């Protein structure tokens, strides 16, 4: 009995970061062989399943076809520099941790479904996969490891190293040996906990949003539409409306949903908009560090013109994307993890509770849209990289999710859908055509 209580004591100490197996955490500057999942990662661990995997894909498209052996070599030379990805998952009684893996996964050819679920085997399996097909490198990762920004850090570093190995004769001498893209790889600071402030409790509940109805695809099957637009044209159109690219595209998507589902007259159309918190809080962690806001088209606004919808969107961007509101939002979740009751509750029980909360909140959005912004390429590597694109797995409650980013003056928007009916993606294309922009569409619907 004494041994049992001593084990519980040690588990609580581990959960609080006081006791580790052979490592003293007396200084935050010590590089530890493990780190705790961030606040967002704990949620993804609890709710991820085969039907709702919470896996995303980042793609780097090169100008030449991929050599598998050299890509494997590039991965093995880069992974040790990225602590967020070079880990295995370990669940203890009162906490879960990522432990350093010190192994290498095998590069695979992209032949299966997109964004397949990572089963929780609580062992040596990796929570990401590196795939290739023709001239494309795909990084698929569980959202428990990192968000899209952290994954871009990793993929760019792998891509740079691969280009150095595969295109040695074409690279200038000064670019052949130095390593690029590694600067943020060992930064696994928890941005949420590091920027935690005690906040007062406020009540704010969103009204249940309109849900995109229709026959769903089978588990693992995702339809994808990729749209490439010249950045210069998109900037000119957005500027004409005195809007940012994010605001303009958000209005396009909301109006497309409104026009595709005209039977909806009494529920708001709500867009889930992830916001990268790194520039707001001045941190470059490679773990998750984002927060979602909802951009809403209210029932009384369903008859609005496009210009009126865009005006509403711009107002909401200004009102909702504020540092103090994000501090308020993640302040409660960090406090919830730190309170004594949570720390003494076994992980299995906490995960059950998180799944219940997630099920209650999952229906508060109609569609998802994330603009990752400009992804800068290291000078000298631009001639070898066509573009970078991304998409994330839709969920049962939010069956259409859209991710965009800009590389080499190309704005890419990728629509991922679980719906068999492709009316909404086609409607978005139709809306873009009204702006007289020239763009290319690639479909795998």
pLDDT tens track for 105-147: 999 999 988 999 998 655 558 999 999 999 999 999 999 999 9
What residues pair up with 60 in beta bridges, in sequence order? 137, 388
Structure tokens at 130: 């590196």
Task: Find, among 166, 115, 160, 107, the residue nearest to 133 by Cα.
Answer: 107
Contact present, 165 and 73 (Cβ < 8 Å): yes
Q: State how far the Cα of 187 lies from the Cα of 169, in Å rounded to an integer.
A: 33
pLDDT tens track for 246-297: 999 999 999 999 999 999 999 999 999 999 999 999 999 999 999 999 999 9
Count other Cβ atoms within 10 Å, centred on residue 181: 22
Q: Does position 17 have pLDDT exceeding 60, yes or no?
A: no
| Overall size of the chain counted in residues | 445
Contact present, 14 and 92 (Cβ < 8 Å): yes
| Amino acid 275: pLDDT | 97
Q: State how far the Cα of 101 lies from the Cα of 91, in Å rounded to an integer.
A: 15
| Amino acid 124: pLDDT | 59
Half-sphere exposure of 73 (CA within 13 A, CB side): 11
Task: Find, among 59, 83, 51, the residue nearest to 217 by Cα.
Answer: 51
Q: State how far the Cα of 93 lies from the Cα of 81, in Å rounded to an integer.
A: 29
Count other Cβ atoms within 10 Å, centred on residue 66: 21
Contact present, 284 and 187 (Cβ < 8 Å): yes
Contact present, 186 and 204 (Cβ < 8 Å): no
- Can you say whether residue 87 is alpha, beta or left, with left for phi > 0 and alpha for psi between -120 and 50 degrees? beta
3-state secondary structure of 319: helix
Phi, psi of 420, deg, nearest 5: -70, -35
Answer with the residue of higher pLDDT: 390 or 362.
390
Q: Does position 420 have pLDDT exceeding 60, yes or no?
A: yes
Domains annotated for the chain, with CATH where assigned, are 33-193 (3.30.559.10), 203-327+344-444 (3.30.559.30)
């Amino acid at each position: 009995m004494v041994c049992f209580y001593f084990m519980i004591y040690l588990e609580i100490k581990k959960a609080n970061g006081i006791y580790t197996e052979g490592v003293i955490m007396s200084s935050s500057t010590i590089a530890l062989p493990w780190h705790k999942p961030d606040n967002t990662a704990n949620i993804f661990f609890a709710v991820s399943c085969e039907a709702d995997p919470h896996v995303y894909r980042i793609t780097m498209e090169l100008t030449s076809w991929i050599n598998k052996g050299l890509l494997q070599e590039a991965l093995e030379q880069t992974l040790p520099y990225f602590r967020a990805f070079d880990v295995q998952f370990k669940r203890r009684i009162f906490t879960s941790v990522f432990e350093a893996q010190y192994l290498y996964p095998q590069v695979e050819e992209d032949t299966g479904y997109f964004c397949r679920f990572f089963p929780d085997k609580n062992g040596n399996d990796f929570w990401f996969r590196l795939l290739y097909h023709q001239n494309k490198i795909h990084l698929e990762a569980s959202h428990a490891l990192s968000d899209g920004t952290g994954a871009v850090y990793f993929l760019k570093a792998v891509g740079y190293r691969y280009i150095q190995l595969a295109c040695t004769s074409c690279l200038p001498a000064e670019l052949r040996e130095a390593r690029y893209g590694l600067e943020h790889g060992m930064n696994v600071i928890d941005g949420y906990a590091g920027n935690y402030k005690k906040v007062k409790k406020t009540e704010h509940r969103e009204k249940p949003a309109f849900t995109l109805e229709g026959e769903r695809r089978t588990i693992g099957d995702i339809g994808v539409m990729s749209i490439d637009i010249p950045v210069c044209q998109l900037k000119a159109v957005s500027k004409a409306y005195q809007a940012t690219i994010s605001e303009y595209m958000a209005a396009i998507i909301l109006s497309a949903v409104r026009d595709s589902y005209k039977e909806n007259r009494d529920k708001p159309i709500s867009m889930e908009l992830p916001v990268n918190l790194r520039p707001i809080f001045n941190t470059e962690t490679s773990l998750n560090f984002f927060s979602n806001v909802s951009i809403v088209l209210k029932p009384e606004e369903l008859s609005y013109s496009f210009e009126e919808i865009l005006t509403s969107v711009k107002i909401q961007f200004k009102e909702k994307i504020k540092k103090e509101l994000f501090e308020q939002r993640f302040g409660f979740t960090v406090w919830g993890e730190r309170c004594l009751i949570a720390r003494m509750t076994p992980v299995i029980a906490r995960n059950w509770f998180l799944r219940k909360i997630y099920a209650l909140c999952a229906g508060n959005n109609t569609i998802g849209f994330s603009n990752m912004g400009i992804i800068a390429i290291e000078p000298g590597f631009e001639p070898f990289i066509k573009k970078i694109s991304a998409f994330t797995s839709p969920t049962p409650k939010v069956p259409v999710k859209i991710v965009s980013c800009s590389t080499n003056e190309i704005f890419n928007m990728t629509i991922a859908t679980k719906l068999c009916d492709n009316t909404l993606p086609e409607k978005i294309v139709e809306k873009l055509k009204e702006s007289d922009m020239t763009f290319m569409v690639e479909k795998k619907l």
